[in-house]
Structure 1
């Protein structure tokens, strides 16, 4: 059932005839709406890359994350406090919220810290390894095998991401690469965990609690984890506002809602669009050009997504694929 309170996606009444065909069509429509919403989120994430990179010159990593998640937590609590309060208290709700929040904060901390110690292209590709990690994590945790076309599509998209982001020569491993790999593992686990708990406690509760926990962790950790740097300027204010409101509050609410109607594997594949958007925004804002190698990689990423979409059965169950197997 579509959760009430999300604009444009209200609850629908059951069909009078209760036919399987009608139910299958409705499931397919919900899945497509959910996946289109995730595409919008991916565009938002890709568009913030240049903004965040510029802001980190004047604000320390954990402090930036603390402010970003704090702003998002305030907005989400204001919007969804009624829905969250109606949910049963206790570990049925708080436990999943704490787990998803820890994973969310850890993933972004690894990613941002790693970006300072390695090149952006290597960070982007290594973080993108979360794409093939998701079906592997789902198979291990939920004992569900990914579909063949999902695996093929993910491999193609991953290869395309490598062409886009990895240079032809000069590769080497450093601490930043290791942190980026930890980010990829954590993001994959976060996708799988959110996919499991959202149908159980509701997308509002997951969205609010995970961001509140992430904000709390950031505020507790930044005074002891790093030398706090904060030089307020328009770049910093804009980065905190845009990432807090759009790339966090809007994005994670949408992603959490959408994962009720699709799988963690498809979510990860759609997120492969992020480096494509980042390249385009970088070209538009900074004049960076994309070589033929990068253009080929972008085409392979899109091809992997199309391959999965063409082979997807419309009436198949979504969202609960992982949730019902634990």
Structure 2
């Protein structure tokens, strides 16, 4: 049987772990700005996740050896395939739309997730979760779209919407399947699945990157993407998702776009505008709704802690 350590932690810690994942991913937008010019998207993702699997696999090799079994391979493979397809389709979609629309349409997964979870777990979403998700997506629209408010959908927009469906399905399936699995072991299996999917996509759609692309600056950028944006972020996400309901986890993960905008402002790529403040206001209200009206699943976790339960870490 898999072995895991147990620590008694309040629910807010798991939410902060998910937010930390979104923070690391938000920072990656600034890093990717240059790296994506050196290596095409699919190959960049394949290299990133292959290295992440090697790094995390080596560091946690003893824990993985204790926990790895068919269940971890199945759950990690299923969720990794869904997320890997999401990354791949999202990047292909970016070729046919603007970055702002790509980011906004991707964020729609936080509205889709409660309904995917309903389909998988047969648990109807709470109305306030759906309202909060819609407010959050509205706020992300203000952050991402700027003046690009066109209602017509390009082929890139449609592919991006498909990628949002893959991300929502991954979050919902993880909530259903990964309750008894070790999050570190699952993360390594997921990285392998991501790398395989993205490498196949690269072979089918992109040329191999030239040797001249692998400069010192590229490897420095890759270090952030592998260590922070992949290893630390995905481990934090997987631990957090085991203890946060799927609808709430999706909303917290959507803060990737918020942190991306904040980093863009801090590094001088973007200016603070009234539109950004309006977007932040919508997102803040969505967070208040989520925190002040916890779902039945969240209340169950809090009741377990009050009774002396010890959630898995």
- Measured against the shorter chain, the TM-score band is 0.7 to 0.9
CA–CA distance in 2 between the matches of 1:42 and 1:70?
A: 21
Q: Does 1:144 align with 2:123?
A: yes
> 2:140 aligned to 156, 161, 178, which one?
161
Verify: 1:255 aligned to 2:234, yes or no: no
1:318 deviates by 4.4
Give the structure 2 partner of residue 227 of structure 1: 207
Q: Could you give the per-residue CA deviations for residues 273-301 of structure 1, whole angstroms, max 9, x where no partner exists? A: 22221111111213411321221011211
- Unpaired stretches in structure 2, ≥5 consecutive residues: 303-313
> How far did 1:127 drift?
0.2
Q: Is the 8 A contact 1:51 1:235 kept in 2?
A: no
Mapped to 2, the partners of 1:161 and 1:251 lie a distance apart of 21
Q: Show the counterpart of 1:210.
A: 190
Task: Give the distance between the partners of 1:266 and 1:283, measured in 2 at CA.
Answer: 27
Partners of 1:228 and 1:286 lie apart in 2 by 33
Q: Distance in 2 between matches of 1:151 and 1:129?
A: 11
Aligned residue for 2:85?
Answer: 106
Q: Which residue of 2 aligns with 1:297?
A: 279
* Structure 2 equivalent of residue 22 of structure 1: none
Aligned to 1:36, the other structure's residue is in SS state helix
Inter-partner Cα distance in structure 1 for 2:214 and 2:48 = 14
Gapped runs of 5+ residues in structure 1?
5-9, 13-25, 320-326
1:83 to 41, 63, 66: 63
Cα shift at 1:225: 2.9
Q: Within 1, Cα distance between the matches of 2:181 and 2:19?
A: 24
2:309 maps to none
C-alpha change, 1:170 and 1:234, in structure 2 (3 Å) is farther
How far did residue 220 of structure 1 move? 4.4
Q: 1:47·1:281 contact (CA, 8 Å) conserved in 2?
A: yes
Residue-by-residue CA offset, 1:231-272 (whole Å, 9 max, x unaligned) = 123442233221111111111111111111111111111123
SS in 2 for 1:48: helix
Distance 2:68 2:227 in 1: 27
Number of residue pairs matched by the alignment: 296
- In 2 relative to 1, CA 127–153 (structure 1 residues): closer, same or farther, beyond 3 Å? same
Assess, with a 3 A threshold, how the Cα gap between structure 1 residues 162 and 220 changes in structure 2: closer, same or farther. Answer: closer
Q: Which residue of 3, 7, 15 maps to 1:35?
A: 15
Task: Tell me: CA distance 1:38–1:228, structure 2 relative to 1, closer, same or farther (3 Å).
Answer: same
Looking at structure 2, the residues matched to 101 and 217 of structure 1 have their Cα atoms a distance apart, in angstroms, of 9
From 250, 256, 259, the counterpart of 1:277: 259
Shift of 1:99: 1.1
Candidates 176, 186, 197, aligned match of 2:177: 197
Q: Could you tell me which residue of structure 2 aligns to residue 11 of structure 1?
A: 6
What's the secondary structure of 1:316's corresponding residue? Answer: helix
| Counterparts of 1:125 and 1:298, CA distance in 2 | 14
Q: 1:45-96, CA deviations, whole angstroms, 9 ceiling, x for partnerless residues?
A: 1111121122111111111011100111012211333233223633x23222
Contact in 2 for aligned 1:50/1:282 (Cα 8 Å): yes
The question of 1:317 aligning with 2:300 is answered yes
- Cα 1:170/1:131, change in 2 over 3 Å: closer
Residue in 2 aligned with 1:323? Answer: none
Q: Secondary structure at the match of 1:251?
A: helix
Please report the TM-score for the alignment, with normalisation by the length of structure 2: 0.87
Is the 1:94–1:209 Cα contact (8 Å) retained in structure 2?
yes
Indicate if the aligned counterparts of 1:273 and 1:302 stay in contact, CA closer than 8 A: no
